[in-house]
Amino acid sequence: MGSSVEISADSLSCLSEVAPLELVLFDIDGTLCDSDPIHYQAFRVMLQEIGFNGGVPISEEFYMENIAGKHNDDIAKALFPEDFERGLKFVDDKEAMFRRLAKDKLKAIDGLYKVTKWIEDRGLRRAAVTNAPRPNAEQMVSTLGLSDFFEALIIGGECERAKPFPDPYLKALEVLKVSKDHAIVFEDSVSGITAAVEAELPVIGLAAWNHENLMKANPMFLIKDYEDPKLWAALEELDKKAGKA
């Protein structure tokens, strides 16, 4: 194979150990859809309006480091350490702005429907596991036409602890009654990858925003999107392993 489809032997070995694959778990924001630019826009506009950072708009780097993938409670604490209640009100208002923007701007990650068809064709179980508030999660899944695709929607804020703790992924395994030994995860943030790894689940990371720090959270490997040849080489190996089993 060419370099574009090269995956480390360790990664392939780890992934092949889940054969036969029974369950695929997806984060939503940045994993099913390219929502990070919409969230970034909403935060950038609203934070500037209230004079955050001296009125200087936040950078993409600030957004990725302090906001992306995190639960709203943690974002509120980070942005408003002296006034948590104000922070909670701010992130609630920001989510309302996100939902308004997302109605027209939300787009599926390239190749998403190709991989969902692969999953459906093999009769695999599937669930979405997200730190997004339920109204956001339901709107995004519906806008993408995946309401009937997912068997369950696990919300981090409805668990004892949200990502980066493993609780949402452990709840998904419990709800769908599938062993962690036969499941894989798609994630796009350090917080999400950390949660899945802590749940002892193999993770494929999506690096649409080229997050150099994603590898620090120990995904098996990174892909640009669901068209990435690395992904399909890995899924082909899974099919072969399952066939032998």
Domain ranges of the chain: 3-34+108-244, 36-105
> What is d(CA 101, CA 152) in angstroms, rounded to the nearest whole number?
25
pLDDT value of residue 4: 44
Instruction: Write the CATH number of the domain with boundaries 3-34+108-244.
Output: 3.40.50.1000
**Whether residue 210 has pLDDT greater than 70:** no
**228 is annotated as an active-site residue:** no
> What is d(CA 136, CA 144) in angstroms, rounded to the nearest whole number?
12
**Whether residue 10 has pLDDT greater than 80:** no
pLDDT value of residue 243: 79
Q: What is the pLDDT of residues 105-161, one digit of tens each?
A: 999 999 999 999 999 999 999 999 999 999 999 999 999 999 999 999 999 999 999
Catalytic residue among 29, 34, 167, 188: 29
Region of residue 177 (left: phi > 0; alpha: psi -120 to 50; beta: else): left
Task: Please give the structure tokens belonging to residue 48.
Answer: 């500037």
Q: Which residue has the tokens 């990371």?
A: 205
For residue 17, name the pLDDT band (cuts at 50, 70, 90).
Answer: confident
**Whether residue 209 has pLDDT greater than 70:** no
pTM of the full structure? 0.89
- Cβ atoms < 10 Å from Cβ of 54: 6
CA distances from 112 to 80, 171, 227 (A): 36, 24, 8
> What is d(CA 164, CA 178) in angstroms, rounded to the nearest whole number?
21
pLDDT value of residue 69: 87
Catalytic residue among 27, 34, 167, 188: 27
Average pLDDT across the chain, whole number:
92
Gyration radius of the chain's alpha carbons = 18
**Whether residue 198 has pLDDT greater than 80:** yes
Reference 18, options 223, 196, 242; nearest CA is 242
**Cβ(36)–Cβ(30) below 8 Å:** yes
**181 is annotated as an active-site residue:** no
